[in-house]
Amino acid sequence: MLLRIPNVLSDEQVTRIFPTLLAAEWIDGKATAGRQSAQVKRNMQIREGDPAARAAGQEIVASLERNALFVSAALPARIFPPLFNRYTEGEAFGNHVDNAIRRITGTPQSIRTDLSATLFLTPPDEYDGGELVIEDTYGVHQVKLPPGEMILYPASSLHHVLPITRGARISSFFWIQSMVRDDGARALLFDLDLAIQRLESSLQPGETLPLTNVYHNLLRRWADG
Ligand code: NI
């Protein structure tokens, strides 16, 4: 499932956070890439553990925990501390897969990357190119979103970032371990949750209770974390 999640950050948050990121310590993006990805990755990233990045990341995670659409779709068990990248003219990230397991730097913890997320922070009119291109069973999708909006997609997808031909693109990217490992099962629960919410507005109180019971019993059956 490919899902666009609006309003992860408000305009006020983006406006406040953006300059702190610009002033942070930027290093070669190959720092967090695996051996194969490093060969096709040309961008910069903020050093992991940089105070500005850590503060911005915590604000993103706090916003996500309050975002009903994200929680329903991702059923998050763990969220990787958000990273930040910048693509400038001529930079790109060729086709690659994200590592299945990622150690959280500086901790003994690791997460299984069920879902990948990219949160766009630069207004789209400030750069050309830089689309995130995701391949799934429904074809190829090109994604470029306004600041504060996020795309959520299965980490199992092949994906790449097209070269920037003008300006620069700064985004946050990270991974989510879901309580429900299987993408299909998670998608069913999301559809069921949305359907129940729609029915609640037209039915009498209590009439959707048996469906809500089915939802929670499926979640109980499928949740592994
Ligand atoms: Ni990737």
The CATH number covering residue 208 comes to: 4.10.860.20
Tell me what the mean pLDDT of segment 37-46 comes to. Answer: 91
Does 95 lie in the same domain as 203? no
What single letter denotes the amino acid at residue 159? H
Strands 127-129 and 164-178, bridge-based pairing? antiparallel
Q: Separation of 96 CA from ligand 1 center, angstroms?
A: 6
Q: What is the CATH number of the domain that holds 25?
A: 2.60.120.620
CA dihedral 85, 88, 91, 96 (to 10 degrees): 20
31 pLDDT band (50/70/90 cuts)? confident
Q: Separation of 97 CA from ligand 1 center, angstroms?
A: 6
DSSP 126: G
pTM over 0.85: yes
For 106-154, the pLDDT digits (tens) are 899 999 999 999 999 999 999 999 999 999 888 999 999 999 999 999 9
Q: Separation of 29 CA from ligand 1 center, angstroms?
A: 11
Does 198 lie in the same domain as 151? no
Q: Separation of 185 CA from ligand 1 center, angstroms?
A: 23
CA dihedral 192, 194, 199, 205 (to 10 degrees): 90
Give the closest residue to 43 by CA, choosing from 11, 102, 85.
85
Does 200 lie in the same domain as 138? no
Residue 38 has a pLDDT of: 85
Does 123 lie in the same domain as 215? no
Q: Separation of 225 CA from ligand 1 center, angstroms?
A: 24
Domain interval for residue 196:
183-222
Residue 225 has a pLDDT of: 61
The mean-pLDDT minimum among 6-10, 12-16, 133-137 falls in: 133-137
Does 96 lie in the same domain as 120? yes
Q: Is the pLDDT of residue 65 over 90?
A: yes
Does 213 lie in the same domain as 110? no
Beta-carbon neighbours within 5 Å of ion ligand 1 = 98
Give the residue ranges of DSSP H helices in the chain.
Answer: 11-22, 35-38, 51-65, 68-74, 183-200, 209-222
What is the residue-averaged pLDDT of the chain? 95
Residue 205 has a pLDDT of: 85
Does 66 lie in the same domain as 174? yes
Phi, psi angle pair for 17, to nearest 5°: -80, -40
Q: Separation of 102 CA from ligand 1 center, angstroms?
A: 12
Q: Separation of 33 CA from ligand 1 center, angstroms?
A: 9
Give the closest residue to 83 by CA, choosing from 40, 113, 125, 124.
113
Tell me what the mean pLDDT of segment 38-55 comes to. Answer: 93
Q: Separation of 47 CA from ligand 1 center, angstroms?
A: 17
For 73-116, the pLDDT digits (tens) are 999 999 999 999 999 999 999 999 999 999 988 899 999 999 99
Tally the C-alpha atoms within 13 A of residue 11's C-alpha that lie toward its C-beta.
1
For 187-219, the pLDDT digits (tens) are 999 999 999 999 999 999 899 999 999 999 999
The count of domains in the chain is 2
Does 189 lie in the same domain as 129? no
Does 156 lie in the same domain as 47? yes
Q: Are 111 and 175 in contact (CB under 8 A)?
A: yes
Burial class (CB in 10 A: 0-12, 13-18, 19+), 14: buried
5: alpha, beta or left? (left if phi > 0; alpha if psi -120 to 50): beta
